[in-house]
Each structure stands twice: as structure tokens, then as C-alpha cells.
Amino acid sequence: QSALTQPPSASGSPGRSVTISCTGTSSDVGGYNYVSWYQQHPGKAPKLLIYEVNKRPSGVPDRFSGSKSGNTASLTVSGLQAEDEADYYCSSYAGNNSFVFGTGTKVTVL
């Protein structure tokens, strides 16, 4: 069970969009529609942003959206705001009641 691959960093100007990729295999991302995304600010616990590829929990702005194609999932943050500067992690169900996380992406708002 290897970690999902994310780019180490991504950036964008306020008001613009940034997209983060999350690449796995057919045993995790590609095999199930159970990809989730988490946002983590420094010193804080992660927060659920997206689950089941593209569903948002109550209270999460619709600026955050998720998608998946084959073995790669993506998170898009539209209308970037200063408070979106954080680390972002993807996660996927990997069968047999197991999970795997992504390597994490640091998003910088320029």
C-alpha cells in the first residue's frame, strides 16, 4: 500500500483557481469512487473538504470541487482566498477496509 502521489506545492493568485492532482492505482483511486480531500492549516487537525470524489460536507464552500479520471483524482479551489493557504491531502479507500493518504500539497496564495 503506497502513498498516493501529489505535487509538493501549488500556487495561485487571489481570485484565481488552483488544481491539485492525486495519482494512485487501480487498487485505490481507480478502483473506487471513494476519494476524499482534507485541508490542514499549520498546527491544526485536518478538515474534510470533499468525500466520495465530489461531495462537499455541509459548511464547505462550493469553491472547492473534486473530480476523478482513471487513477487520478483532482481537487480544484476556485476564487482563491488568503485563508486557502494550507496543506491539502487526498485519501482513497484501498479495499479490505483500508485507507491510503496522499503525500500532501502545500498551496500558496501569491
Tell me which residues touch other proteins (CB under 8 A): 1-3, 32, 34, 36, 38, 45-48, 51-52, 57, 89, 91, 93, 96-104
Provide, rounded to whole angstroms, the least separation between the CB of residue 88 and other proteins. Answer: 11
User: In terms of Cα–Cα distance, which of 86, 81, 78 is closest to 39?
Assistant: 86
Of 33 and 79, which CB lies nearer to other proteins in the complex structure? Answer: 33
Cα 58 from chain centre: 17
DSSP state of 102: B
Provide, rounded to whole angstroms, the least separation between the CB of residue 36 and other proteins. Answer: 4
Half-sphere exposure of 59 (CA within 13 A, CB side): 2
Query: By three-state DSSP, how is residue 63 classified?
Result: coil
Provide, rounded to whole angstroms, the least separation between the CB of residue 68 and other proteins. Answer: 13
Of 13 and 26, which CB lies nearer to other proteins in the complex structure? Answer: 26
